[in-house]
Structure 1
Amino acid sequence: MTDRVIDAHHHIWRQADLPWLQGPTVPRIFGPYDSIKRDYPIEEFLEDIDGTGVVASVYVQTNWAPGRAAEEVAWVEGEAERTGWPHAIVGFVDFLSDNAAAVIAAEAGCPRMRGVRQQLHWHENKLYRFAQRPDICDDPVFRHNLGRIAEHGWLFELQLFAGQMASGARLAGALPEIVFVLEHAGMLEDRSRAGHALWREGMKRLADQPNVHTKLSGLGTFLHRLDQQHLADVIGETIDIFGPERCLWGSNFPIEKMWTDYASLLDATRAAIPESHRAAVLAQNAVRLYRLPPEVLAPADGPTSKLEGR
């Protein structure tokens, strides 16, 4: 074990709660996924991180069935009470819905709630498309309801493709009181010269907004493998654009577990981050953004949970 690390993006789940993990396997953005069509409990996550230096984590929503967003947050809160993990929760709210305020109020009852993700990524390629339309960031109803999270001090996890980044920058500019965290370093899916240029231009637009940060996560999504050079290139450029003080890391497990183990992914990430930036990117920024207790970075032998010693 070397540096202490905060995993700012991972999942746990019960298969029965997730409609997308049931029924026949269909084409998805991250490739064949039969290996994760099962429960992924917090106990398995703790086994995956054992010996890696990870000392705290942030759960990110996993698209439970419609109408169950508050139930998802409550379940994760219960798992955290039982085991000590995760340390922060990013839930779901449909900000286009008439009941957005009620869902926010329900989720606010969970003390580990720190933010919301509503996936807005839209692509001309239907395989990559999640949102129903590309311009939700500019929707006045969406913006009004999103603004409600400011009173709770929550951040918003922004998931977009390069072609949507200009609208994402407008959204962040319109809501300066909210912290935005761009998912997966902007989801670079087109590695052609033109595709890379579009991504880089969009990333610069987002970085021009001081309330936008980004996660170095999900970098195997479109390759379906751990590619050291690709990871190093994206991490290097992203840190160059946003600065190390606005970048943080997440494993995206168990999605990335389909093609790599946890230690290999974290080792590759460490190697791609300049040593002088590692403490900020791998831990300190996540502690600040998700308002984690500073003592999680105190020296320790490894991850601890309430399950130890039972």
Structure 2
Amino acid sequence: MTDDDLPIIDAHHHFWKLGSGHHPWLEGAHDIPFRYGDYSAIKRDYLVDDFRRDHGRHNVVKSVHMEVEWDPSDPVGETRWLHELHDRTGWPHAVIGQAWFARDDIAGVLAGHAAFPLVRSVRQKPAAAPSPDRFVAGAPGSMADPAFRAGYRLLAEHGLHYDLQTPWWHLGEAADLARDFPDTQIILNHTGLPSDRSPAGIDGWREGMERLAAQPNTAVKISGIGVPGQRWTPELQGEVVRETLRIFGAGRCMAASNFPVDSLCASYDEIFTGLKAITADMPQGDRRAFFHDNALRIYQPA
């Protein structure tokens, strides 16, 4: 099998159609603080034809759509829109919805998502400290907050996973969450956000990743690792990718583009050609698991 033939399930990407006010961060008058800086280049419609053009020669056979901060007053509205898109185009093949576990209406939101056949998981980005030295255990909105956990425990009733996006210094709380709710699968987004590539930053990130990986009901998506101002290359990203594969094992890692967001720092081809180069020495079965089989098992795309 050549690299061009290698089947890919893109485990994390986005679609959006602007103009209806559903995406405040993309349509509002004021930008939000963003880890890649200026994101004006993605303030445009991004739909199936755009995604197909971007993935180009790479053999993307299915995809998993991640919620994209749709208007939180109607979190199930995005799920409804995505099912209409799937009915018209066949894409995406699995959906991750928006949910806020401490909200009074969380039971209804989860039931609303679960009523749609493509929904496999939900995401909330728990309250995060801006740096490791400002981390406060159990802060309101964090994974140790009793209100967060009261809503989180409802996931098991619907058989839903939890997609977690948080900086690595919160991964100890994530490990505790995984331990205390062993029947709920946690999928860490964006590789634990290893934005600090200094030796101390990588050491802290590695420790957090190892704590989370010690819980068997966890997995990780290798995505979202762009570094502002630097080209996405195997040389820049190799350590993070290889360490993640070592820590979690090839059976719990998934490849993903985070497109179109990561188009701010790389082309689709740069990301997937880079991931293929970094993993070129892996056994064929492990490589196929990373690019395809793990996402197939975890998300069960239609």
TM-score normalised to structure 2 length: 0.90
Match of 1:304 in 2: none
1:207 has 2:213 as partner: yes
Judge which range, 146-155 or 73-82, deviates more: 146-155
CA contact 1:221–1:256 (8 Å) conserved in 2: no
- In the alignment, which residue of structure 2 is the partner of 1:19? 24
Q: How does 1:25-104 map to 2 (within 5 A)?
A: 25=31, 27-104=33-110
Post-superposition, which runs of at least 4 consecutive aligned residues in structure 1 deviate over 6 A? none
Give yes or no for contact 2:11–2:254 (8 Å, CA) kept in 1.
yes
Q: Which amino acid aligns with 1:207?
A: A
Q: Distance in 2 between matches of 1:103 and 1:225?
A: 40
Which of 265, 277, 287 is residue 278 of structure 1 equivalent to? Answer: 287
What does residue range 81-230 of structure 1 map to in structure 2 within 5 Å? 81-120=87-126, 122-124=128-130, 136-220=142-226, 222=228, 225-230=231-236
CA contact (8 A) 1:30 1:224 kept: no
Change (3 A) 1:134 1:195: farther
Amino acid at match of 2:6: D
Shift of 1:28: 1.7
Q: CA deviation at 1:221?
A: 5.2
Deviation at 1:233, TM superposition (A): 1.1
Q: Secondary structure at the match of 1:191?
A: coil
Q: 1:219 to 1:201 in 2, by over 3 A?
A: same
2:33, 2:248 → 1: CA distance? Answer: 33
Gaps of 5+ in 2: none
- Distance in 1 (CA, whole Å) between partners of 2:230 and 2:73 is 31
Q: Residues 135, 192 of structure 1: CA spacing in aligned structure 2 closer, same or farther, 3 A cutoff?
A: farther
**What is the CA-CA distance between 1:9 and the residue it aligns to?**
0.2
C-alpha separation between the residues in 2 aligned to 1:292 and 1:25? Answer: 33
Alignment root-mean-square deviation, CA:
1.9
- Deviation of residue 264 (structure 1)? 2.0
Distance in 2, Cα, partners of 1:150 & 1:80: 26
Which amino acid in 2 is paired with 1:220?
G
Q: Distance in 2 between matches of 1:239 and 1:81?
A: 35
* 201-210 vs 253-262, greater mean Cα deviation: 253-262
CA 1:153–1:222: 2 relative to 1, 3 Å: farther
Measured at CA, do residues 221 and 172 of structure 1 come closer, stay the same or move farther in structure 2, by a change above 3 Å?
Answer: farther
| % identical aligned pairs | 37
Query: Normalising by the residue count of structure 1, what TM-score does the alignment of the two structures yield?
Result: 0.88
Length, aligned pairs only: 288
